[in-house]
Homo-oligomer: A and B are copies of this chain.
Amino acid sequence: MPYYIGDVIKNEEQLIARTPEQFRQTGIDVRIDTRVDRIDPKAGAVLLTDGVAVPYDLLVLGTGTTALMPGIPGEDRQGVFTLKKLADALRIKAWIRELPCRKAIIVGAGFVGMEMSEALRNLGIETSVHHRAKLPVNRWDPELAKAVLAELESHQVRFVTDAEALAVQEGKTHRLRLVTSRGEEEADLILMAVGIGPNTDLARQMGLPLGRTGAVQVNFSQRTGREEVYAVGDCAESFHRVSGRWVNIPLGDIANKQGRVAGANIGGGNALFPGIVGSQSFKVFDLEVAATGLTEREAVEVGFHPAGTLIWGNAIAKSMPDNSKLGLKLIADRATGRLLGAQAVGRKGAVGRINVLAAALWAGMTLDDVGWLDLAYAPPFSGAWDPIHIAAQELRRKI
């Protein structure tokens, strides 16, 4: 009988509870609210904190990530949150309802910070984002990040630049006070969205090799350093097809795919996870923000000689009533013309373009290919020359 140990969320509207009993009927022993103390790979047993030893022949680690805290005084105060698991979201919702919460501070301007600024503003909560850098979303070109900043500001999100969080204190007009290198601000809720790191305690303790990224090393079958132990999802590395390096990009679709590969292999199949190209996206208010492949800095790090170009094109044909501007950046290798990465921001069409370019990266296309791709043109969906063509041909001329 296979075992599943972990915290299975069992409440709130959209979720259909899958109780341990329901699982047991399907032949799976699910143990919720159960902590694993350590794993004994020689004995082939998972040791629970209550002293019980659960034996295994094959083991899958899916320990995920933990949201990082800045490590400042007062960060453990009531009303300071991170957002990683559904349980975190439920706690935040409960806190907002109870107070009620009129004002929120988000520390950090990555995916979670951006998505939560929209969610909080949609609840009518006054929201500030305090960020270490001058612009949000570090991964994107400054010109595209400025479009994200403008979107935040047009929805009355206050953006505080160059702010290093120093302490959380008790507030006067609001519950809490955030002290930063740029001053102080009070709020009823503080969300720490400063990053995440893979949970590798169990893996390390049982002697599994970790990669350069700090996540668990796996091969293309999702096997770890031990033949009988698999690792999947955010705690594990993935092969990046553009850089040729093993990376740790904790995203849900990658976790899903790795889980399927491990499952197929455990079931007697011979599945390989063919890797990733670094595609990612999020929505912030009315803006689509997406990227794939390498940034220029990452490209240099792995030995490419990147050149980039950034254009503002039309998301759909210029003559159409709903047209809006699309910012698209392409990065390619000077020596070979090979596409290395892409970033896009726009009210519509950004994710669609990035997905096409993700397929191009997957195939190892050069700009000569990308500039002539046969896309399904019609005025409601694009111009006859898509921003993809325009950017690729422009960058081709440049290098």
Contacts from A to B (Cβ < 8 Å): 14, 241, 251-257, 273-283, 288, 290-292, 319, 351-352, 354-360, 362-363, 365, 368-369, 372-378, 380-382, 384-385
B-chain residues with CB within 8 Å of residue A354 when the two chains form the complex: 376
Question: When chains A and B are docked, how far (Å) is the Cα of A362 from the Cα of B396?
Answer: 19
* Residue pair B278, A374 in contact (C-beta under 8 Å): yes
A363 CB to nearest chain B CB (Å) = 3
Question: When chains A and B are docked, how far (Å) is the Cα of A174 from the Cα of B274?
Answer: 63
Interchain Cβ contacts under 8 Å between A and B, 19 examples: A241-B374, A252-B384, A253-B377, A253-B384, A273-B372, A274-B372, A278-B374, A279-B375, A281-B376, A281-B381, A282-B378, A290-B376, A351-B376, A352-B355, A354-B376, A356-B358, A359-B363, A362-B365, A362-B374
B-chain residues with CB within 8 Å of residue A274 when the two chains form the complex: 368-369, 372
Nearest B residue to A288, CB-CB: B381
Nearest B residue to A380, CB-CB: B283
Please classify the interface of chain A as helix (H, G, I), strand (E, B), loop, or mixed, using the class held by over half of its residues. mixed
* Residue pair A377, B279 in contact (C-beta under 8 Å): yes
Counting from the closest, the 9 A-B pairs by CB-CB distance are A363-B363, A281-B376, A253-B377, A359-B359, A352-B352, A279-B376, A283-B380, A253-B384, A276-B374
Question: When chains A and B are docked, how far (Å) is the Cα of A279 from the Cα of B282?
Answer: 27
A331 CB to nearest chain B CB (Å) = 16
B-chain residues with CB within 8 Å of residue A360 when the two chains form the complex: 359, 363
* Residue pair A372, B281 in contact (C-beta under 8 Å): no
A209 CB to nearest chain B CB (Å) = 25
Question: When chains A and B are docked, how far (Å) is the Cα of A375 from the Cα of B358?
Answer: 6
Instruction: Given contact pairs A255-B384, A281-B376, A356-B359, enumerate 4 new A-B contacts (beta carbons under 8 Å).
Output: A276-B374, A279-B377, A280-B378, A351-B378
B-chain residues with CB within 8 Å of residue A359 when the two chains form the complex: 356-357, 359-360, 363, 365, 373
Nearest B residue to A352, CB-CB: B352
B-chain residues with CB within 8 Å of residue A358 when the two chains form the complex: 356, 373-376
Question: When chains A and B are docked, how far (Å) is the Cα of A359 from the Cα of B356?
Answer: 6
B-chain residues with CB within 8 Å of residue A374 when the two chains form the complex: 241, 253-254, 275-279, 292, 358, 362
